Structure 1
Amino acid sequence: MASTRFESSVTSVSWIPSEAIAGLSRIPFEMGITHYDQPPPDQIVDLEELRRTDRFREANELRAFIEVEDERIVGHGHLGQGHIGATTVRVGPAAIRFPAVHLPDIRPEPEVTASSVRFVQTVGGRMGLPTPRPVRHKPFVQFWPSLAWTTLALTLKVDGSSTHELVGASPFPRHWIYDHEGRLVEKSGVVDFATWFNDSFGDRTPWGTSDSPAVVAAVESALERQLSASIMHGGAKPKIRTIASGEALVEQGAPGTEVYLILDGIIAVEVDGDPVAEIGPGAVVGERAALEGGTRTATLRATTRARVAEVPPDGLSTDDLDTLAATHRREGDVAPNVIDQG
C-alpha cells in the first residue's frame, strides 16, 4: 500500500510596534535614525517578499511532514527554516542596511507517538549593529544587542490534522502567529522591552540554557483594527496609560465614557465579580459606556502589566462603536464567546 504524505506549517513573524520601546532607547526611533515596523499583513502570501522589504525582524517558518501507511506513521521530517531581516539606519539622506545575525535554528528530535509527531523549532538572532550598554547581569557590559526569537511547536496527526503552539519567545519584540494557510491567528500578548534589553543574551536564551514563556492573545477583529487606526492616528493624540498587573482600568458601575485601545498586555473582563473573558493587544473596549449613558458595564482588570491608549469617543464613528458593541455580549445574552467590554 502506498503511503500518504501530510504537510502542515505554523509561522511566527516578529516586529517592533510603535509605543513598544521606553526610555532613552526611543531616541533613535523618534529621530528617524531607525524605525518602528508597520504591522505585518493579516495573510502571508510571500514571506520572502516581507523579508526583502524590511517588514519583520525575524520569522520562524516551522514546516513539516509525516508519511502514513495503514494508519501508521512511517516517515517524518522538517521542511521549514528561519528568516532574519535587517536593520535600516538613516543618517541624513543616506540609508544603511545592517543585516542581522542569524543564529543556528534549533530543532530537537521530533516526538513520535503511534498517532502523531510533534516538531519543535527555535529561530532567532540579533541586529548586526553594536549597542554597547551596562546590564544587570555578568559581564555587566553588553556590546551586542539582545537576542530575539520564537520557539514554535507543530503536531501532525495520522488523520492529517495538525495543531500548533507558541512554546516560548523573547520578551521583545511583538510576535504574530500564522496558521498553515498563512492566516493570522494569534499574537504574543506582552512586550517587555526592559527585560529583553537587560536579560535576553547569553545563558538566558535558547542558545544558552533557557527559553522564555510566551503569553498568547487572540486576534482582534477587522473593525477593531480600523478603530485602532482612528484612535492612534485619526485626531487628537491619545493618552497612553500604563496599568499594573492586578489594577483595574475601569470598574463596573463607575462613570466614564472614554474608549480604550489595548496596546500591550492582557486584560480580564469581569461582570459582577466573575471573569468572563481575557483580551489582548488590538482590542478596543469601553464603547458600551460611551454609547449608553456613561456607566461602565464591566470591570476591566490587567492580569499582566498593560498599556492602553485612551481617547474620548467624540472622534470615533458612532456607527463603528455601535457595530462593535453589537459583537459584545449584553448581560443576560446567551451567545458564547461574545462579551460586554465596558
Structure 2
Amino acid sequence: MRVEAAGTSVSWIPSEAVSGPMKATFATGLSHYDQPPPGELGDAAAMRATLEDLRDRDAFRFANFLHAWAEFDGDRVVAHGSDGGIVMGATTVRVGKLGATFQAVKLPDLKPEPEIGPGWVKFTQTAGGRTALPLPRPIRRPPFFRLQAPLVWTTLTLTLRADGTSEIGMEGASPFPRHWVYGTDGDVTLKAGVADWSNWLGQPSWKRTPWGDEDSPVLVTAAETALERELSTLLMHGAAKPTVRTLAEGEVLAERGEPGSSLYLILDGVLGVEVNGEALGELGPGAVLGERAVLEEGIRTATLTAVTPVRVAEAPGSDIDRAALARLAEGHRREEQSA
C-alpha cells in the first residue's frame, strides 16, 4: 500500500510584533507587517503552487514544504522518499513611492534519515535562512554586536502510517516570526504560541541554530476555528477599537465567577483555561474567548491565566452577533468535554 502526504509551515510577521528601535521602520513604511495567511492552502497537489503564488505576492517571509511517500507491506516499510524544502520570500524596503526588493538568503535544508517503526515512518525536515539586509543588533557575548540578521527556521515532522493516515508536527522553530502549520488536508492546524522578537534578535550566531548544534523548542497550540478567524476580524476592525492588554506570565486575565461582558482575542502568547481547579487546555494566537459571559448573565465561567507573556485584545461583546457567539460557545463546550 502506498501512502503519500504533504504539509507545510508558513512564517510571517504579525502586526505590532516588532519592538524597540526597529519598530520605527515598520511604522514609517520602510518595512511592513504581513496580513495573516489564508486558513487553507489546498490539497497536497495544490499546496506547493499556492505557496509560490503567496511568495510572489510578498505575503509571507518563508515556508517549509514537506512532501513524503511510503510503500507498506502490512506493517513493514518497503520503500520511502521525500522532497520539498524552503520556499523563501524576500524583503521589500519602501521610501515614499520608491521601493526595492532583496531576495532572502536560503540555507541548506536539513533532512536526517527517517525514523521507521512497525506500521509507520517519520520524516523530519528543517528549512530556513535569513534576510539579505543587515540588521544591526546587540548580543550578550563577544563580539557583543552583529550586523547580520538572525536566522529563521522551522523543523517539521511528517508521519505516514500503514493504515493510510498521516500527521504533521512542528518540533522546533526560531523564536520569531509567527509560524503556522498546515496539515495534509491543507488547513491550518497548529501555531507557534509566541513570536518573540527580543529573544530572536539576541541570537548570538549560527552555532545556536539547527545548522550549528541546537534547535529551539517551540510552544505549539492548536489553530483556531474558521469562525474564530471571522470573529477576530470583526473584533479588530469593528466600530469600537479594541483595547490591547499585555499580561506577564502567571497573570490572570479573567476569574471564574467574576462579572464580565467583553470578548478577548489572543494576539500573541498562550492562555491556560481552568474551571474549578481543573485545567481544560491551553489556547494560543487567534483564539476568541469570553463569549459565555456575554451569553450567560455576564458571569465568567472559566479562569484564564497567562502561561507565557500574552498580548490580548479586549472588545465589547455587544460588537458581535449573539448567534455567532452561541456557535462559538457550543464549539468550546465540545472542546471542554473532550478535554
Matched AA of 1:21 = V
Match of 1:171 among 175, 179, 204: 175
- State the alpha-carbon separation in 2 of the partners of residues 223 and 67 from structure 1: 38
Shift of 1:151: 0.2
> Could you tell me whether the CA contact under 8 Å between 2:181 and 2:190 is conserved in 1?
yes
Q: What percentage of aligned pairs have identical amino acids? A: 52
Match of 2:20 among 20, 23, 36: 23
Give the aligned partner of residue 49 of structure 1.
Answer: 53
Q: Write the mapping of 1:206-221 to structure 2, written as runs, cut at 5 A.
A: 206-221=210-225
Q: Secondary structure at the match of 1:314?
A: helix
- State the alpha-carbon separation in 1 of the partners of residues 123 and 19 from structure 2: 36
Give the aligned partner of residue 258 of structure 2.
Answer: 254
Q: Write the mapping of 1:159-308 to structure 2, written as runs, cut at 5 A.
A: 159-199=163-203, 201-308=205-312
Q: Secondary structure at the match of 1:225?
A: helix
Residue deviations 1:192-212 (CA, integer Å, cap 9, x gap): 111011126422111111111
Shift of 1:313: 2.4
- State the alpha-carbon separation in 2 of the partners of residues 209 and 317 from structure 1: 51
Shift of 1:12: 0.6
> Could you tell me whether the CA contact under 8 Å between 1:170 and 1:200 is conserved in 2?
no
| Further displaced range: 106-115 or 246-255 | 106-115
Residue deviations 1:167-207 (CA, integer Å, cap 9, x gap): 10011111111112312111111111110111264221111
> Could you tell me whether the CA contact under 8 Å between 1:276 and 1:339 is conserved in 2?
no
- State the alpha-carbon separation in 1 of the partners of residues 33 and 157 from structure 2: 28
Residue deviations 1:193-237 (CA, integer Å, cap 9, x gap): 110111264221111111111111112122211211122122232
> Could you tell me whether the CA contact under 8 Å between 1:87 and 1:97 is conserved in 2?
yes
Matched AA of 2:103 = P
- State the alpha-carbon separation in 1 of the partners of residues 164 and 299 from structure 2: 50
- State the alpha-carbon separation in 2 of the partners of residues 268 and 95 from structure 1: 43
Match of 1:130 among 134, 147, 151: 134
Shift of 1:137: 2.8
- State the alpha-carbon separation in 1 of the partners of residues 158 and 244 from structure 2: 37
1:119 aligns with 2:116: no
Give the aligned partner of residue 79 of structure 2.
Answer: 75
The change in CA–CA distance for 1:287 and 1:160 in structure 2 (over 3 A counts) is closer
The change in CA–CA distance for 1:336 and 1:56 in structure 2 (over 3 A counts) is closer
Matched AA of 2:227 = L
The change in CA–CA distance for 1:70 and 1:309 in structure 2 (over 3 A counts) is closer
> Could you tell me whether the CA contact under 8 Å between 2:254 and 2:304 is conserved in 1?
yes
Give the aligned partner of residue 312 of structure 1.
Answer: 316
The change in CA–CA distance for 1:162 and 1:326 in structure 2 (over 3 A counts) is closer
Q: Secondary structure at the match of 2:22?
A: helix
> Could you tell me whether the CA contact under 8 Å between 2:208 and 2:215 is conserved in 1?
yes
Q: Secondary structure at the match of 1:66?
A: strand
Name the TM-score, length of structure 2 as normaliser.
0.92
Q: Secondary structure at the match of 2:18?
A: coil
- State the alpha-carbon separation in 1 of the partners of residues 59 and 277 from structure 2: 42
1:40 aligns with 2:44: no
> Could you tell me whether the CA contact under 8 Å between 1:261 and 1:283 is conserved in 2?
yes
| Further displaced range: 91-100 or 195-204 | 195-204
Name the TM-score, length of structure 1 as normaliser.
0.91
The change in CA–CA distance for 1:72 and 1:320 in structure 2 (over 3 A counts) is closer
- State the alpha-carbon separation in 2 of the partners of residues 5 and 256 from structure 1: 53
Shift of 1:338: 5.5
Residue deviations 1:294-313 (CA, integer Å, cap 9, x gap): 22121111111111011222
Shift of 1:71: 4.7
1:110 aligns with 2:94: no
Cα RMSD for the two superposed structures: 1.9
- State the alpha-carbon separation in 2 of the partners of residues 336 and 305 from structure 1: 24
The change in CA–CA distance for 1:323 and 1:115 in structure 2 (over 3 A counts) is closer
